[in-house]
Amino acid sequence: MNKTCLIIYVFALTSMARAGLIDLTPGGTPDDFGPPTPVQIHGFYDEAAFGWFNLPEGRTFLRGWVSRFGILNGGQYFFTDLFTNDPSRVANVWWDFSGTDYRMLYIDVAGWNDDGTGLVANLYKVMGRNGVIGSGRVTLDGLQNITGISFYGRNPAFVPDSGSTVVLLGLAIFGVLTLRRWRAAQRVS
C-alpha cells in the first residue's frame, strides 16, 4: 500500500470516529423499531412532527413538538428545523444538555412512502461526547419526506440494578429457610 492510500485510509477512519451521528439503518427500513434497548434506559424525550397523523381523536395535521409521552419538551434542550422546512427529505438536528444529567443517544426518523401506504424509518446513534452537545443532518432514505423525528436519550430517573436486589432476595430466602429449620428443631425437642 503506498503512502497516499495509507494517509487517505487513516483520514477516513479518524473522520468516521469523530462523526456525531452514525446511521444504524442506511437507506432506511420498512419497520420502525426505535432504539435497541428498553425505553427505561434510553428514555423517549419528544417527537418533532410535520404531517398528517392518525391519532385517537382522528386524522390530525401536526407541525411542532408532540410532547405527549416524552420526559422532556422539545425546543428546550434539543431542536430541529423540520417545522420551518416545507415537506423535506432532510432535516438538521442539534442539542445542548450542558449542566444537566441528560444526554442524546438515539434519533429515530420516520415518514411514509409517497403513496402513504408504507412506513420508512431510519435510526441514528449519537456517538461519544457528542451526546451532551452536538448536531447533525438526518434523512430517511433520501427519497421520502420526513414526518417525524423522535429523540431518545439517557433517562437519569432510571437507576440500573447492580445486583443488590438479587442479593437481598437470596438473604430473605435464606432467613426464611433458617427460621423454618429452627422452629422445626424446637418442636422436636
- Cell 461519544 locates to 128
Cα–Cα dist 22/127, whole Å = 7
What are residue 131's phi and psi, to 5 degrees?
A: -65, -25
User: So where are the chain's domains?
Assistant: 3-158, 164-189
159, 95, 165: which is closest to 132 by C-alpha?
95
Query: Three-class SS of residue 136?
Result: strand
pLDDT digits (tens, 9 = 90+) for 45-62: 889 988 888 788 888 888
150 burial via Cβ count (<10 Å: 0-12, 13-18, 19+): buried
Sign for the CA dihedral angle at 16, 94, 43, 129 comes to positive
pLDDT digits (tens, 9 = 90+) for 103-160: 889 999 998 766 666 788 899 999 877 788 999 999 988 888 898 999 988 877 665 5
Sign for the CA dihedral angle at 139, 141, 142, 148 comes to negative
Cα–Cα dist 5/8, whole Å = 5
128, 120, 179: which is closest to 145 by C-alpha?
120
How many degrees, rounded to 5, is the angle at CA 105 between CA 104 and CA 109? 95
pLDDT digits (tens, 9 = 90+) for 155-178: 776 655 566 777 888 888 888 889
